[in-house]
């Protein structure tokens, strides 16, 4: 079974590449972030032609998450129960479902913007709510994973130059502590480091030739419980999909399971 996560940075803009990637890779379940569309605009028909059902939590031009599955979608839960609002709205940042033998979440953790911004406090509150929401599934006997764009680099090795990020979000002790607390719910990072290269980044800014210069960050993660982690047979970042015209600024992260 092949499960992946990919921040597509607009599913409408990325649709031709997304459809081709799904067909070429044979992915069974894809967790999508930053759909940037309403439910009515979501490409259900095109995905259905490839054999994918879709569970979507999307409300408009910002944020939005989805689960695409060829192995079934059951017990779909849109949103984050107990999650905080931001400016009076619970943003569409989470969706979960059972896909065949596994239970998965697709999450798009708030960016945080700046350390002294209200969005940063919201980000930490969102992490607390996520930990509470996944605790039961994480402790269960069924393979379970939270996949997505966590907007946190877990260690200094997960950014191209730590000095560049001094005083900025994504690398602060508070954010890394929130990520560590999530792991304490019974989850672990299932993508090994190093992979086939020293810096398995997943995100590179469009500006200043960051991708050709490999000035990136590893912020797209797959956190699985013990049954999920034990079933992992391979994992990789698909850097090729970050190349070329019309690419997202994130690369897919792919995990193969023996289940």
Could you tell me the pTM of the whole model? Answer: 0.97
pLDDT of residue 61: 84
pLDDT of residue 139: 96
Candidate list 149, 158, 220, 249, residue with the active-site label: 149
Confirm whether 86 is a catalytic residue. no
Cis peptide bond N-terminal to 194, omega within 30: yes
Separation of alpha carbons 252 and 224, rounded Å: 17
Closest of 170, 120, 127, 159 to residue 146, by C-alpha: 127
Instruction: Report the CATH number at residue 30.
Output: 3.60.10.10
pLDDT per residue as tens digits for the range 104-132:
999 999 999 999 999 999 999 999 999 99
Once rounded to an integer, what is the mean pLDDT over residues 223-240?
A: 96
Confirm whether 122 is a catalytic residue. no
Candidate list 28, 52, 108, 122, residue with the active-site label: 108
148 is in which domain, residue-wise?
2-257
Candidate list 52, 122, 203, 250, residue with the active-site label: 250
Confirm whether 156 is a catalytic residue. no
CA angle, 211 then 217 then 220, to 5°: 110
Once rounded to an integer, what is the mean pLDDT over residues 173-182?
A: 98
Number of domains in the chain: 1
């Amino acid at each position: 079974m092949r499960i992946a996560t990919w921040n597509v940075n607009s599913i409408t803009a990325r649709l031709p590449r997304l459809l081709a990637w799904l067909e070429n890779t044979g992915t069974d379940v894809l967790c999508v972030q930053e759909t940037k569309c309403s439910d009515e605009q979501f490409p259900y028909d095109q995905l259905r032609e490839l054999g994918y059902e879709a569970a979507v939590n999307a409300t408009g031009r910002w944020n939005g998450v989805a689960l695409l599955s060829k192995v079934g979608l059951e017990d779909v839960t849109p949103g984050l129960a107990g999650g905080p609002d931001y400016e009076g709205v619970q943003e569409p940042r989470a969706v979960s479902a059972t896909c065949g033998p596994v239970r998965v979440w697709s999450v798009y953790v708030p960016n945080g913007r700046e350390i002294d911004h209200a969005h940063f406090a919201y980000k930490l509150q969102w992490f607390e709510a996520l930990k509470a929401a996944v605790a039961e599934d994480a402790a269960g006997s069924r393979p379970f994973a939270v996949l997505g764009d966590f907007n946190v680099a877990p260690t200094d090795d997960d950014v191209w130059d730590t000095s560049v990020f001094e005083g900025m979000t994504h690398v602060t002790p508070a954010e890394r502590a929130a990520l560590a607390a999530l792991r304490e719910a019974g989850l672990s990072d299932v993508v090994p480091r190093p992979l086939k290269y020293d810096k398995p980044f997943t995100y590179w800014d469009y500006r200043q030739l960051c991708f050709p210069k490999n000035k990136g960050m590893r912020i797209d993660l797959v956190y699985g419980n013990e049954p999920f982690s034990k079933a992992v047979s391979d994992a990789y970042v698909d850097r090729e999909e970050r190349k070329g015209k019309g690419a997202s600024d994130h690369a897919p992260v792919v995990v193969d399971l023996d289940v």
